Amino acid sequence: MKSYLFSYEFQGQNWNFEIPAHSQAEAMMRLSKIAHASFDGEAVLKIAAPKGPVSSILARIGL
């Protein structure tokens, strides 16, 4: 997967975000679905971990 970058203006400031996708066309399709996204909560912690047993366990418990 690749990271595709998008930007927008909000209240006079520029913001950006990335969408992981296999192609630019897929990223654009994912972007079109954002208006239908649901709010899942606030991210309070991010842990960078290599893929393996530890990251699998953290993903299962929701961290």
Convert the pLDDT of each residue in 10-36 to its tens digit.
Answer: 999 999 999 999 999 999 999 999 999
pLDDT at 48 over 60: yes
Q: Is residue 20 part of a domain?
A: yes
Q: Is residue 48 part of a domain?
A: no
Q: Is residue 32 part of a domain?
A: yes
Total number of domains in the chain: 1
User: Containing domain of residue 21, as a range?
Assistant: 1-37
pLDDT at 9 over 90: yes
pLDDT at 2 over 90: yes
Tokens 């897929």 sit at which residue? 26
Q: Is residue 56 part of a domain?
A: no
- Please state, in angstroms and rounded to a whole number, the distance separating the CA atoms of residues 28 and 6: 10
- Please state, in angstroms and rounded to a whole number, the distance separating the CA atoms of residues 6 and 48: 23
Q: Is residue 58 part of a domain?
A: no
Q: Is residue 26 part of a domain?
A: yes
Tally of CA atoms within 13 A in the half-sphere of 30 that contains its CB: 15
Q: Is residue 1 part of a domain?
A: yes
For the entire predicted model, the pTM comes to 0.64
- Token readout for 18 is 């990335």
